[in-house]
Copies of this chain bind each other. A is one copy, B any other.
């Protein structure tokens, strides 16, 4: 199994996702600022993985706090939490993990500082392990929606690399495959960062799950030809009404799915729900560096000095979503009710 992120000898170790699939390079971080930078630069990416990396980064930061009182510790802890919160705006799992770590510190404020640090480290490791367990359960629920013979389109990477392991959308695909179902996966390359061709294709190929790599603009063609009969993607944030923020391009696929009568599923852990916001309109969309669009592998592929848009995510309105698969079960419309029930 791929190790996306681990805690080894008081360091946070990640596979560098900017170098895959041609190189398997592992990065070691011994301070939280570097972990924050790694999240920003997408050395690690994917909503659940960002949450785990944030928790581990915070735990790492906590280890090097020197403080004589909880108040002093808490002040320094606050700096770390704030730094982590500035990395990426869209995935709510980041803020969920930050809040978890803050609450964990608060709940153990009575402990001597060295023990408090140990508790925080253990909570971060637990968040990591829980994430893998969550994905396995979610995968089993989702696999019920997949039958032998299905050809499944997925976008971006919602795999082991986007989580602590196993994956959400790819967790469902893995579970279906492990159950012996004959499936074929269409992998969207997912410009500009190429998470599909670089990461999803790599994960599936490693496990011999049959796949066809396509460019993003081919999806409609294959749907019309009847070659795709199900779509499953991950999520970066899900509003109370079931609107889903996910990798740019997800919304276009949902529209195409509707036009072709193909079910469109979202797979995400409960920590991706943001019930504090009513609809997807309130989800902040990260705008990334134009160079991700104008250059590939350091090579200029567009004229210099032109205007470029690079929104990293889009919002798919709930009307386009057939069901949302979580570790607590499958939510069906109306999501306002079904998500609230699962989140309890």
Evaluate whether A197 and B311 lie within 8 angstroms (CB atoms) in the complex, with A191-B216, A217-B248, A306-B205 already known.
Answer: no
Stretch at the interface among A34-42, A49-57, A117-125, A296-304: A296-304
Task: For the complex, give the distance between the alpha carbons of A308 and B214 in Å.
Answer: 6
Residues of chain B within 8 A of A198, CB atoms compared: 301-302
Among B188, B213, B311, the residue within 8 A (CB) of A294 is B213
Q: 1/0 per residue A182-211: CB within 8 Å of B? A: 000000111110100110011001000011
Contact yes or no, A255 B311, CB < 8 A: no
Does A63 count as interface, using CB distance less than 8 angstroms?
no
Among B217, B258, B311, the residue within 8 A (CB) of A191 is B217
Does A9 count as interface, using CB distance less than 8 angstroms?
no
Contact yes or no, B301 A197, CB < 8 A: yes
Task: For the complex, give the distance between the alpha carbons of A293 and B300 in Å.
Answer: 17
Task: For the complex, give the distance between the alpha carbons of A249 and B283 in Å.
Answer: 28
Most B C-beta atoms less than 10 A away, residue of A210, A258, A302: A302
Among B205, B219, B248, B303, the residue within 8 A (CB) of A21 is B303
Task: For the complex, give the distance between the alpha carbons of A299 and B197 in Å.
Answer: 13
Residues of chain B within 8 A of A259, CB atoms compared: 255, 258-259
Task: For the complex, give the distance between the alpha carbons of A194 and B192 in Å.
Answer: 12
Could you list some 13 contacts between A and B, CB below 8 A?
A: A188-B217, A191-B216, A197-B301, A197-B302, A211-B306, A212-B308, A215-B249, A217-B217, A217-B248, A221-B251, A221-B311, A224-B251, A255-B259
16 more contacts with CB within 8 A, not counting A191-B191, A213-B293, are A155-B217, A189-B302, A191-B215, A191-B217, A210-B307, A211-B307, A212-B307, A214-B308, A215-B216, A215-B249, A215-B293, A216-B216, A217-B217, A217-B249, A259-B259, A297-B299
